[in-house]
Structure 1
Amino acid sequence: METEVSIVAFSSVAQGGLGLVPPKLNEPVMLSARAKEATGLSRVVCDWLWPEARVAVEYDGRDSHASPQQQARDARKRDALRIDGFDLTVITSSQFHHVTQCTALLLGVGCRVGPRKRKLSAEHAPRHLTLRKQVRAHHREHFPFRFKKSRP
Structure 2
Amino acid sequence: MNAVVPIPERSRWVTGRSHLRCDLIWPDERVAVEYDSTLCHTGAERIAEDAARKDALEALGFTVVTATWKQVENYQEYNRFAKALAKHLGTRARPVCSEYPARQLALRRELLG
Alignment correspondent of 2:62? 86
The answer to whether the Cα contact below 8 Å between 2:73 and 2:112 also exists between their aligned partners in 1 is no
Alignment correspondent of 2:12? 36
Amino acid at match of 2:19: R
Specify every segment of 5 or more residues in structure 1 that has no aligned partner in the other structure, as ranges: 1-24, 138-152
The secondary structure found in structure 2 opposite 1:81 is helix
Asked which structure has the greater RCO (Cα within 8 Å, sep 6+), the reply is 1
Partner Cα distance (1:121, 1:108) in 2: 21
The answer to whether the Cα contact below 8 Å between 2:83 and 2:92 also exists between their aligned partners in 1 is no
Alignment of 1:39-50 (within 5 A): 39-50=15-26
Could you give the per-residue CA deviations for residues 5-33 of structure 1, whole angstroms, max 9, x where no partner exists? xxxxxxxxxxxxxxxxxxxx111112356
TM-score by length of 2: 0.81
Using a 3 Å threshold, how does the CA distance of structure 1 residues 85 and 28 change in structure 2: closer, same or farther? Answer: same
The answer to whether the Cα contact below 8 Å between 1:41 and 1:80 also exists between their aligned partners in 2 is no
Could you give the per-residue CA deviations for residues 12-60 of structure 1, whole angstroms, max 9, x where no partner exists? xxxxxxxxxxxxx111112356753344444210010111111100111
Could you give the per-residue CA deviations for residues 44-83 of structure 1, whole angstroms, max 9, x where no partner exists? 1001011111110011111100121111110000000111
The secondary structure found in structure 1 opposite 2:23 is strand
Bigger shift: residues 84-93 or 29-38: 29-38
The secondary structure found in structure 1 opposite 2:2 is strand
Alignment: residue pair count: 113
Q: % of aligned pairs identical?
A: 32
Using a 3 Å threshold, how does the CA distance of structure 1 residues 78 and 136 change in structure 2: closer, same or farther? Answer: same
TM-score by length of 1: 0.62
Could you give the per-residue CA deviations for residues 84-104 of structure 1, whole angstroms, max 9, x where no partner exists? 110111000012122112112
User: CA shift at 1:105, angstroms?
Assistant: 1.3
The answer to whether the Cα contact below 8 Å between 2:70 and 2:77 also exists between their aligned partners in 1 is no
